[in-house]
């Protein structure tokens, strides 16, 4: 019996020594130490031994079991290590491979233009005012000298929400809001950039577009102040050699009113002497009624106002022929800016 046990031990150690994988080793373990294993069978036979032999054999069997268990554990550890090393070698990362490129975005040409405009006026000391896109008839028209049934309302095809509420057709209501926010006759020097809405839709008109409004009110403001301001602004934007032309026009909220055309060198055709004129903004001296409607006294102060379309300016700056490009989000277009 004792000899049998020693042989079993030798055989088991030889077998587990030959195991090539954790799975093989596990099988060897089961075949000796499992419920139906060889060592287990020997232990079961102990009941046939005499009372003197039994404790001796029991002690031996336990030693053999412990030896096998620790040999298996060691071997298991060794096999695991081999497997990990092999895996590490097979799965080495090639750090020389270039990283995947992630394109950085940039500002939309309209945002760039809007920032250019506002920054230019901020340098001239203008504050930035904002107003709601959904506006009352009162601010959008009434306070700007456009009472109900005024024919000039037709100049701005509007989206009405109710009889008295509409999507603002221009940024001019912010003039009225700003005047009413100030103490009457306090000086104002503001611009108001923002989104406006009209039901036009073609290559040069979009139902949603952007404007920048300007308003200056103080004592003794003259038309020459308006001209000087706009000339400085337009030259800053389009270049020092930009030609500027004021053309008489009509707006209900200004009197006199003008439209401003520009001509700048990059737009001038080499083969023609005459520069090409392009309309760029509307302006004028604030109508006395507008001052009165917003609690300012036209006997004490006066001012000028102007309004421009941002898309228009961006089209000129970047040489874009169709304003719908701005809203289509076609990468082939946007990538160019």
Applying CB under 6 A, the residues found at the interface with ligand PHE are: 170, 172, 213, 251, 254, 282-284, 305-307
- Secondary structure (DSSP) of 224-289: HHHHHHHHHHHHHHH-TT-EEEEEEEEETTEEEEEEEEEE-GGGS-TT-SSPPPEEEEEEEEEPHH
- What Å distances lie between residue 2 and 14, 58, 133, CA to CA? 19, 10, 99
Q: Taking a C-beta distance cutoff of 8 angstroms, is the pair 284, 223 a contact? A: no
CA distance 111 to 330: 16
Q: Taking a C-beta distance cutoff of 8 angstroms, is the pair 310, 210 a contact? A: yes
- Looking at the Cβ atoms of 121 and 306, the one nearer to ligand PHE is 306
- Looking at the Cβ atoms of 12 and 290, the one nearer to ligand PHE is 290
User: Minimal distance in Å, beta carbon 226 to ligand PHE?
Assistant: 10
- Looking at the Cβ atoms of 68 and 196, the one nearer to ligand PHE is 196
User: Minimal distance in Å, beta carbon 277 to ligand PHE?
Assistant: 18
Q: Output the six-digit token pair for 309.
A: 């379309």
- Looking at the Cβ atoms of 251 and 296, the one nearer to ligand PHE is 251
> How far from chain centre, in Å, is Cα 5?
77
Q: Is the peptide bond before 68 cis (omega within 30 degrees of 0)?
A: no
User: Minimal distance in Å, beta carbon 210 to ligand PHE?
Assistant: 11
Q: Which residue is nearest to ligand PHE (CB)?
A: 307
User: Minimal distance in Å, beta carbon 164 to ligand PHE?
Assistant: 20
- Looking at the Cβ atoms of 167 and 283, the one nearer to ligand PHE is 283
- Looking at the Cβ atoms of 201 and 266, the one nearer to ligand PHE is 201
- Looking at the Cβ atoms of 79 and 303, the one nearer to ligand PHE is 303
User: Minimal distance in Å, beta carbon 239 to ligand PHE?
Assistant: 24
Q: Taking a C-beta distance cutoff of 8 angstroms, is the pair 276, 268 a contact? A: yes
User: Minimal distance in Å, beta carbon 189 to ligand PHE?
Assistant: 14
User: Minimal distance in Å, beta carbon 304 to ligand PHE?
Assistant: 8
- Looking at the Cβ atoms of 16 and 290, the one nearer to ligand PHE is 290
Backbone phi, psi, residue 261, to 5°: -110, 150
Q: Taking a C-beta distance cutoff of 8 angstroms, is the pair 268, 274 a contact? A: no
Question: Tokens 């075949």 appear where?
Answer: 31
User: Minimal distance in Å, beta carbon 271 to ligand PHE?
Assistant: 34
- Contacting residues for 178 by C-beta, under 8 A, at least 6 apart: 129, 188, 190, 192, 215
CA distance 281 to 312: 9
């Amino acid at each position: 019996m004792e000899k049998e046990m020693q042989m079993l031990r030798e055989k088991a150690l030889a077998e587990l020594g030959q195991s090539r994988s954790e799975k093989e080793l596990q099988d060897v373990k089961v075949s000796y130490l499992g419920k139906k294993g060889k060592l287990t069978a020997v232990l079961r036979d102990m009941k046939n031994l005499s009372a003197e032999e039994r404790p001796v054999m029991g002690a031996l069997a336990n030693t053999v079991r412990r030896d096998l268990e620790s040999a298996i554990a060691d071997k298991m550890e060794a096999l695991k290590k081999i497997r990990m090393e092999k895996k590490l070698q097979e799965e080495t990362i090639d750090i020389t491979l270039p990283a995947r490129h992630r394109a950085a975005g940039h500002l939309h040409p309209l945002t760039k233009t809007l920032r250019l405009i506002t920054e230019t006026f901020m340098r001239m000391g203008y504050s930035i005012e904002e107003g709601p896109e959904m506006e009352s008839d009162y601010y959008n028209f009434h306070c700007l000298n456009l009472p109900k049934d005024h024919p000039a309302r037709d100049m701005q095809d509007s989206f009405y929400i109710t009889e008295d509420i509409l999507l603002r057709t221009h940024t001019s209501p912010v003039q009225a809001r700003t005047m009413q926010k100030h103490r009457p006759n306090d000086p104002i020097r503001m611009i108001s950039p923002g989104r406006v809405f009209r039901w036009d839709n073609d290559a040069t008109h979009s139902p949603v577009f952007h404007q920048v409004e300007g308003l200056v009110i103080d004592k003794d403001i003259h038309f020459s102040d308006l001209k000087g301001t706009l000339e400085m602004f337009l030259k800053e934007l389009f270049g020092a050699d930009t030609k500027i032309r004021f053309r008489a026009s009509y707006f209900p909220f200004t009197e006199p009113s003008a439209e401003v055309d520009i001509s700048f060198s990059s737009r001038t055709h080499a083969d023609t002497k005459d520069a090409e004129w392009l309309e760029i903004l509307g302006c004028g001296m604030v109508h006395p009624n507008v001052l009165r409607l917003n609690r300012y006294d036209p006997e004490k102060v006066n001012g000028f106002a102007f309004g421009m379309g941002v898309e228009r300016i961006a089209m000129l700056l970047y040489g874009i022929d169709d304003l719908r490009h701005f809203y289509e989000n076609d990468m082939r277009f946007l990538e160019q800016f």
